[in-house]
Amino acid sequence: MAYVAAHNIFSPLGTTSAAVFAAVAAGRSAVAEHAGIFPGDGPVWASRMPEGWMQALPELNGTFSPFELLLIASIRGATAQTALALEAERTIFVFATTKGNIGLLDENPEVSAALVAKLSLAASARAVARYFGNANTPVVVSNACTSGVAALLVAQRLLASGQYDTAVVAGADTVSRFVLSGFQAFQALSTGRCRPFSADRDGINLGEAAATIVLTAQPPAAAVATVRLASGAISNDANHISGPSRTGAELARAIGQALAAAGLTAAEVDFISAHGTATPYNDAMEASAFALSGVQTKPVHSVKGALGHTLGAAGLVESVLSVLALTEGCLLPTVGYSQPMQPTPLQIATAARPAALRVGLKTASGFGGCNGALVFARV
Amino acid sequence: MNSPPKLLRSCSIQNGTIWIDGAEVFTGPTNDFAAFATSAFRALTIDYPKFYKMDNLAKLGFLAAEHLLAGLNFRTPGVADRTGIVLANANSSLDTDLRYAAQVQQGLASPALFVYTLPNIVVGEVCIRHGITGENMLFEAEHYDAAAQVAYVANLFAHNTIDQCLSGWIDLLGQEYRAFFYLVGAGSQPTLPDYTAASVETLFTT
Amino acid sequence: MQDLKLKLKELLVEHLNLQDIKPEDIGDDQPIFGEGLGLDSIDALEIIVMLQQHFGIRLTKADNGPQVLASVNSMADYIMAHPQPQK
Identify the sign of the CA torsion B149, B155, B158, B161.
negative
pLDDT at C71: 93
Asked if residue B178 belongs to a domain, the reply is: yes
Please write the tens of the pLDDT for every residue from B159-176. 999 999 999 999 999 999
If you ran DSSP here, which 8-state letter would residue B194 be given?
B
Q: At what angle do helices B56-68 and B121-130 cross, to 10 degrees?
A: 40
Kindly determine whether residue B128 and residue A241, on different chains, have CB atoms separated by under 8 Å. Answer: yes
If you ran DSSP here, which 8-state letter would residue A208 be given?
-
State which H helix or E strand residue A319 sits in: helix A314-328
Q: Does the pLDDT of residue C87 top 50, yes or no?
A: no
**How many interchain CB pairs under 8 A, A with B?**
153
Asked if C86 has any chain A CB less than 8 Å from its own CB, the reply is no
pLDDT at C62: 66
Check: CB of residue B138 under 8 Å from CB of residue B170. Answer: no
d(CA A201, CA A341): 9
Q: Which residues of B touch C38 (CB under 8 A)?
A: 49-50
State which H helix or E strand residue A7 sits in: strand A2-10
Residues forming a β-bridge with A172: A210
Grouping H, G, I as helix, E, B as strand and the rest as coil, residue A65 is: coil
d(CA A100, CA A141): 11
Mean pLDDT per 10-residue section of chain A, whose length is 379 residues: 95 98 98 94 96 86 92 97 93 98 91 94 98 98 98 97 96 98 96 97 98 95 82 97 93 98 98 98 96 97 98 98 98 96 89 97 98 96
Domain boundaries, chain A: 1-379
Find the CATH number of the domain harbouring B135.
3.40.47.10
| Number of residues assigned to chain B | 206
Q: Does the pLDDT of residue C35 top 80, yes or no?
A: no
State which H helix or E strand residue A147 sits in: helix A147-160
Residues forming a β-bridge with A353: A331
Superfamily of domain C2-81: ACP-like (1.10.1200.10)
Among chain B, residues having any CB pair with chain C shorter than 8 Å are 38, 49-50, 52-53, 108-112, 115
- B86 Cβ contact partners less than 8 Å away, ≥ 6 residues apart: B135, B136, B137, B139, B149, B152, B153, B156, B165, B166, B167
Asked if B150 has any chain A CB less than 8 Å from its own CB, the reply is no
Closest CA to A292 of A252, A257, A264: A252
Check: CB of residue B61 under 8 Å from CB of residue B112. Answer: no
Q: If you average pLDDT over every residue of chain B, what do you get? A: 96
Q: Is the ipTM of this complex over 0.90?
A: yes
Please write the tens of the pLDDT for every residue from B73-118. 999 989 999 999 999 999 999 999 999 999 999 999 999 999 999 9
Query: Residue A183: what are its φ and ψ, rounded to 5°?
Result: -65, -30
Of the residues C15, C42, C53, the best mutation for testing chain A's interface (the one with the most A CB atoms within 10 Å of its CB) is C42
Closest CA of chain B from A241, distance in Å: 6
Q: Does the pLDDT of residue B140 top 50, yes or no?
A: yes
Domain boundaries, chain C: 2-81
d(CA A97, CA A99): 6
d(CA A81, CA A210): 18
Q: Are strands A347-348 and A299-301 parallel, antiparallel or unpaired?
A: parallel
| CB neighbourhood size of A16 (10 A) | 16
| CB neighbourhood size of C87 (10 A) | 9
- Sequential DSSP letters for chain C: -HHHHHHHHHHHHHHTT-TT--GGGS-TT---BTTTT-B-HHHHHHHHHHHHHHH-----GGGTHHHHTSSHHHHHHHHHHS-----
- A40 vs A43, B102, C49, C58, C84, CA distance in Å? 9, 19, 15, 11, 14
Please write the tens of the pLDDT for every residue from A297-346. 999 999 999 999 999 999 999 999 999 999 999 999 999 999 999 887 89
d(CA B81, CA B75): 9
Residues of A with a catalytic annotation lie at 145, 275, 309
Of the residues B50, B115, B136, the best mutation for testing chain A's interface (the one with the most A CB atoms within 10 Å of its CB) is B136
d(CA C87, CA C84): 9
pLDDT at C86: 53
Mean pLDDT of B140-163: 97
pLDDT at A1: 82
- Counting the structural domains of chain B, the total is 1
Kindly determine whether residue B120 and residue A367, on different chains, have CB atoms separated by under 8 Å. Answer: yes
If you ran DSSP here, which 8-state letter would residue A374 be given?
E
Q: Which CATH number does A1-379 carry?
A: 3.40.47.10
Cα A86 versus chain centre, distance: 22
Residues forming a β-bridge with B19: B12, B24
d(CA A230, CA A374): 8
How sure is the predictor about C84, in pLDDT bands with cuts at 50, 70 and 90? confident
Q: Does the pLDDT of residue B206 top 90, yes or no?
A: no
- B71 Cβ contact partners less than 8 Å away, ≥ 6 residues apart: none
Residues forming a β-bridge with A211: A9, A171
The answer to whether the peptide bond before residue A343 is cis (omega within 30 degrees of 0) is yes
Q: Are strands A44-47 and A2-10 parallel, antiparallel or unpaired?
A: unpaired
